[in-house]
Amino acid sequence: MSATSRPVGPERVRVERSLCVGAGQCVLAAPAVFDQAVEDGLVLVLDDTPPASELSAVRDAVWACPSGAVTLRARATH
């Protein structure tokens, strides 16, 4: 990893709603970070930069997502 692409700052949750199938596994794994929209049941992110105390649950949510709609990435410098 070069100095110009070194991760910094909090990890950021990303979702691709077009991939979401509404299974709700993310909400079960990390309810403080995810919810489902009432109108279509698709994923909503409540906190895209969750505290360290929630990261394990978010990683579980990423793993449990059947469609791969949820990701967790560290921010990098430019």
Residue 15 and residue 6: Cα distance in Å, rounded? Answer: 22
**Confidence (pLDDT) at 74:** 82
Contact 45, 27 (CB under 8 A): no
| pLDDT grade for 10, boundaries at 50, 70 and 90 | confident
Instruction: Give pTM, 2 decimals.
Output: 0.82
Q: What is the pLDDT of residues 17-64, one digit of tens each?
A: 999 999 999 999 999 999 999 999 999 999 999 999 999 999 999 999
CA angle 65, 69, 74 (to 5 degrees): 100
Residue 36, SS3? strand
pLDDT band for position 77 (cuts 50, 70, 90):
low
